[in-house]
Structure 1
Amino acid sequence: MPYSASPMGHRSRRRPMSEINVVPYIDVMLVLLVIFMVTAPLLYQGVDVDLPQVDAQAEQDPPQEPVIVSVDADGRYYLNMADDPEAAMTAGELSDAVAALLADNPDKRVLVNGDSNVPYGDVVSVMVRLRDAGAAGVGLMTRTPEGEG
């Protein structure tokens, strides 16, 4: 008897199941999510590196006076080669003045002298303005730590 008879007298045939049980896949996905959430912060931690300290000597005979842009603690801009180096400038005035200086001498060095209390974003903003004004490279001025040199 190849077919089995049902109580109703009909032949029954098994149909293939077209549904997939996704519950085990959801469990695996949640476990992977927890693993990635725990391990992701560990991947971005820095490595403790002891950098070498050297006594850097300033240039003995600089070829020419650099353009120095100073940013004080209140975020005001000053230019050492302006008509009045003690007068604060707006960002637009600073860009125009530096562009005029660099038009005459594009190889002139440009340095940023930022107060230690100035937010980092303000210093980066000044550096971008100087680059847009035509500075090929912009350096940051620092001082040697007290007790050294």
Structure 2
Amino acid sequence: MYQRKKRRPVAEINVVPYIDVMLVLLIIFMATAAVITQGVQVDLPKMEESELVEATETPPIVVSIDADGNYYVSIGIDPEKSMEAIDIAAQIKLALDKDPKTPVLLKGDGKVSYQEVLSLMGFLKKAGVPSVGLMTESFEQ
């Protein structure tokens, strides 16, 4: 008499498609992470006078660039003399260590090159400034 063999079910999972999907997702996340981390986060001010600056208890740190490209910093007082960008970054780092919620505003002369503003913003980012507000004047009509 002929006996039939009983087949056992195979309990294996094919993981190759899952690995393919994971590699594609990894590549997508790596590409988007590089794009997201580029640049300095900047809060551009509105031109409407009702939304200029939020009132805070602490006075803002104002970093200024004049038409000649000289840097000034004002932490609650008027700036006295021009400083190097590295010195400004160090002062702001000390001020933010005391109160991390202090707003930082950048005030640049209209004749200053865009490169000067970006390089100063780079120094501020290295100093640990989470966001920089740009100061503007409203148009008189």
TM-score by length of 1: 0.57
Question: In the alignment, does 2:48 pair up with 1:55?
Answer: yes
1:136, 1:130 → 2: CA distance? 9
What is aligned with 1:110? 104
Residues 1-149 of structure 1: pairs in structure 2 closer than 5 A: 55-57=48-50, 58-59=52-53, 61-81=55-75, 85-147=79-141
Deviations 1:69-94 (A, max 9, x none): 00001110001128871210011111
Aligned-pair CA distance for 1:131: 1.2
- Root-mean-square deviation (CA), in Å? 2.2
| Distance verdict in 2 for CA 1:74–1:98, change over 3 Å | same
* Separation in 1, partners of 2:49, 2:89: 31
Larger relative contact order (C-alpha < 8 A, sep ≥ 6)? Answer: 2
Contact 2:66 2:112 in 1 (8 A): yes
Bigger Rg, which one = 1
Q: Alpha carbons of 1:116 and 1:104: their partners in 2 closer, same or farther (altered >3 Å)? A: same
| Alignment TM-score, normalising by the size of structure 2 | 0.60
Q: Which runs of 5+ in 2 are unaligned?
A: 1-45
Contact 2:59 2:75 in 1 (8 A): no
1:67 touches 1:81 (CA, 8 Å); kept in 2? yes
Structure 2 residue matching 1:125: 3-state secondary structure: helix
* Distance in 2, Cα, partners of 1:84 & 1:66: 12
Distance change in 2, residues 1:144/1:133 (3 Å):
same
Q: Write the distance in 2 (CA, Å) between the matches of 1:79 and 1:120.
A: 19
**CA 1:54 to 1:129, structure 2 compared with 1: closer, same or farther past 3 Å?**
closer
Change over 3 Å in CA distance of 1:70–1:59 after alignment to 2: closer
